[in-house]
A and B are shown apart, each in its own frame.
Chain A
Amino acid sequence: MDKKLLMRGSQVIGETAIRAGCRFYAGYPITPQNELPEFMSGAMADLEDGTFIQAESELAAINMVLGASMAGARAMTSSSSPGISLKQEGISFLAASELPAVIVNTMRGGPGLGNIAPSQGDYFQATRGGGHGDYRTIVLAPAHGQELADLTEKAFEYADRYRTPVMILADGMMGQMMEPVVLPDPINLAELPPKPWVLDGADGRPGRLIKSLILNTMEMEEHNWKLARKYEIISREIAAAETYMTEDARFVVIAYGTAARIAKGGIKRAREMGLKVGLLRPVTLYPFPERVIREMSRSVKDFLVFEMNTGQMLDDVKLSLEGRSTVHFYGRPGGVVSTPDEIAKVISSLYYRQHLEED
């Protein structure tokens, strides 16, 4: 089925989740992502085996997901920045107990209550685990409608494959925008690999246990290393980035999500002016596609990190480059959405300042 549909971003996430086998959703209202739980309430009601719960709190929602995941369901919750902070307890428990779940963060301006405009202020929180303890969360950063579908499908797959929480890091702009998308075919739940760890009653087998309390320090250390080894595997297997016009580029913009989309427009304009500019867009923020960036530093000596915050992914870019190239930064926090023209201006001023026009 590759019929193109015109759909709102939040609906794309919801419909794809259902097609990817999500049968449990719990969430709490918060702007700018309410269209997603609203969609899920209807979609789950249409399914014989679907459950939607409007939870009393973000904490309750993530813990319901924790329970549904223990019971073997593909489960999801969603929220926006302040709500995601509240969910961190449960996300840490999911990571510790090695349970799959998908969490959608439709980022808004912050800190605190901030505002409800699109922002990328939660990069650190998302990519560094977010909750307490030594863990990471897989973070996927869609930039357009089709990718909302593709990455939502992947999110469920990765969550099950690695038994770990996966976050889809979107923003209000993506959630609201209507775009043509091709949705994946619905999966057959019965064909998914069995989960031999699920709690479904000890029928004909000894009782199973899912927990995160490990009082013995040596065992806890081993568990920490086990998780770390898993993150290494994840880093090797799924790190992804898109490159755009980078073949002959002397200057590369690094941006993700909505910022990358705006940057692309800026790059097109800069190209029209004859500047050799390209875009590198991390699609996975954790694992960060550091190898692609490092390799690019052989030919590119100037990078511009553009984020809708005051500089968070900037750290990861610098860590990836290990001082090999110059890193510039342009940020618009607070929910301000730049224009492609604005980015083109930033690009060209840096381009000329660095004398990149000279061969």
Chain B
Amino acid sequence: MEKVVFKRPKYMKKAPFHYCPGCGHSIIHRLMAEVIEELGIGEKTIGVPPAGCAVLAYDYFDIDMGEAPHGRGAALATGVKRILPDRIVFSYQGDGDIAAIGTAETIHAANRGENITVIFVNNSCYGMTGGQMAPTTLLGQNSTTTPGGRDKDRDGAPIDLSEMLAITRGAVYIERTAVNSIKNIRKTKKAITKAFKVQMAGLGFSLIEILSPCPTNWKMSPVDACKWIDEDVMQTFPLKVIKDETG
């Protein structure tokens, strides 16, 4: 008797993704939808999509979604969660959104220990606007605003937002993962599951930073983009549990 062992998760609408070939966003969307289904929280989860490529996340998740202005995901999610403390609230943000224009909102939400989960997608560039330098762009990495590659003296060095957040007292669980290989995708799903569980247990702020390929703006094939994450991106942003105070 043949069984279906892999299919579209319940909370992911059957809509074709608008993302470029090989983009990590939709892998992350799917993992989140799987976790939401497995934890049985689809009917009480409220998502906050960002400005950026993932703004259209609301077209794919079959749950309540409220769009945030650029960078304000953590503040908006705070407002939702404080009014509905028994719901599960997540904010989904890119690197420019969370680590440049929304740094203040993110740090203070973490520091207050807001009981929300943040999914931070790090693809080391501004994807939607066409590949400009992001706060996470690697030194030497080309972008449309760093001719000749990002230069520390001229452009500043990449920012370790997750590590910065870890020193806030309200942050409970912070992990950096990637979606560039089967192994890393499985680890990412585990990390997302743990982050949601932290929130369900009311422990405080959780954040998963996910290294994600952007083949279009990196000007690489999707397979090469995944290799580049292994070989280069992880040198700057090593995969690890950055903070775990879940006891």
Contact of B64 among A89, A93, A201 (CB under 8 A): A201
> Is A68 among interface residues, defined by CB-CB distance under 8 A?
yes
> Is A203 among interface residues, defined by CB-CB distance under 8 A?
yes
What residues of A have a CB within 8 angstroms of the CB of B56 in the complex? Answer: 213
Contact of A202 among B42, B67, B78 (CB under 8 A): B42
Interface centre among A56, A60, A61, A213 (most CB of B within 10 A): A60
Contact of B78 among A64, A72, A203 (CB under 8 A): A64
Measured CB to CB, the nearest residue on chain A to B105 is A60
> Is B29 among interface residues, defined by CB-CB distance under 8 A?
no
Which B residues from 55 to 70 make CB contacts under 8 A with A? 55-56, 58, 61-69
B76 close to A199 (CB less than 8 A): no
Interface stretch (choices B82-90, B169-177, B227-235): B82-90
> Is B79 among interface residues, defined by CB-CB distance under 8 A?
yes
CB distance from A60 to the nearest CB of B (A): 4
Over the window 17-28 of chain A, the binary record of Cβ atoms lying under 8 Å from chain B Cβ atoms (1 yes, 0 no) is 000000110100
> Is B43 among interface residues, defined by CB-CB distance under 8 A?
yes
What residues of A have a CB within 8 angstroms of the CB of B108 in the complex? Answer: 55-56, 60
Over the window 64-96 of chain A, the binary record of Cβ atoms lying under 8 Å from chain B Cβ atoms (1 yes, 0 no) is 111111111101000000000000011001000
B75 close to A70 (CB less than 8 A): no
Which B residues from 1 to 53 make CB contacts under 8 A with A? 42-46, 48, 51
With contacts A26-B79, A71-B83 taken as known, whether A204 is within 8 angstroms of B43 at the C-beta atoms is: yes
> Is A206 among interface residues, defined by CB-CB distance under 8 A?
yes
Which B residues from 88 to 118 make CB contacts under 8 A with A? 104-105, 107-108, 112
Task: Tell me, in angstroms, the Cα distance from A206 to B11 when the chains sit together.
Answer: 10
With contacts A59-B105, A64-B75 taken as known, whether A211 is within 8 angstroms of B82 at the C-beta atoms is: no
A200 close to B75 (CB less than 8 A): no
Contact of B69 among A51, A89, A201 (CB under 8 A): A89
B65 close to A60 (CB less than 8 A): no
> Is B165 among interface residues, defined by CB-CB distance under 8 A?
no
A210 close to B65 (CB less than 8 A): yes
A63 close to B82 (CB less than 8 A): no
Task: Tell me, in angstroms, the Cα distance from A286 to B105 when the chains sit together.
Answer: 32
Measured CB to CB, the nearest residue on chain B to A51 is B82
A202 close to B63 (CB less than 8 A): yes
With contacts A57-B104, A200-B46 taken as known, whether A67 is within 8 angstroms of B78 at the C-beta atoms is: yes
A63 close to B80 (CB less than 8 A): no
CB distance from A279 to the nearest CB of B (A): 41
> Is A208 among interface residues, defined by CB-CB distance under 8 A?
yes
A200 close to B84 (CB less than 8 A): yes
> Is A97 among interface residues, defined by CB-CB distance under 8 A?
yes
With contacts A207-B61, A209-B65, A210-B65 taken as known, whether A67 is within 8 angstroms of B77 at the C-beta atoms is: yes
What residues of A have a CB within 8 angstroms of the CB of B66 in the complex? Answer: 67, 70, 97, 199, 209-211
CB distance from B104 to the nearest CB of A (A): 5
B105 close to A213 (CB less than 8 A): no
Measured CB to CB, the nearest residue on chain A to B46 is A199
B43 close to A72 (CB less than 8 A): no
What residues of B have a CB within 8 angstroms of the CB of A213 in the complex? Answer: 51, 55-56, 67
Task: Tell me, in angstroms, the Cα distance from A64 to B82 when the chains sit together.
Answer: 9
> Is A53 among interface residues, defined by CB-CB distance under 8 A?
yes
With contacts A57-B104, A65-B79 taken as known, whether A200 is within 8 angstroms of B72 at the C-beta atoms is: no
> Is A212 among interface residues, defined by CB-CB distance under 8 A?
yes
What residues of B have a CB within 8 angstroms of the CB of A57 in the complex? Answer: 104-105
Contact of A210 among B67, B72, B83 (CB under 8 A): B67
B87 close to A201 (CB less than 8 A): yes
Task: Tell me, in angstroms, the Cα distance from A56 to B105 when the chains sit together.
Answer: 7
Interface centre among B44, B62, B76 (most CB of A within 10 A): B76
Interface of B with A (CB < 8 Å)?
42-46, 48, 51, 55-56, 58, 61-69, 72, 75-84, 87, 104-105, 107-108, 112
List 7 other contacts, CB 8 Å, given A53-B82, A67-B75, A201-B64. A59-B72, A69-B79, A75-B79, A200-B64, A201-B84, A202-B63, A208-B64
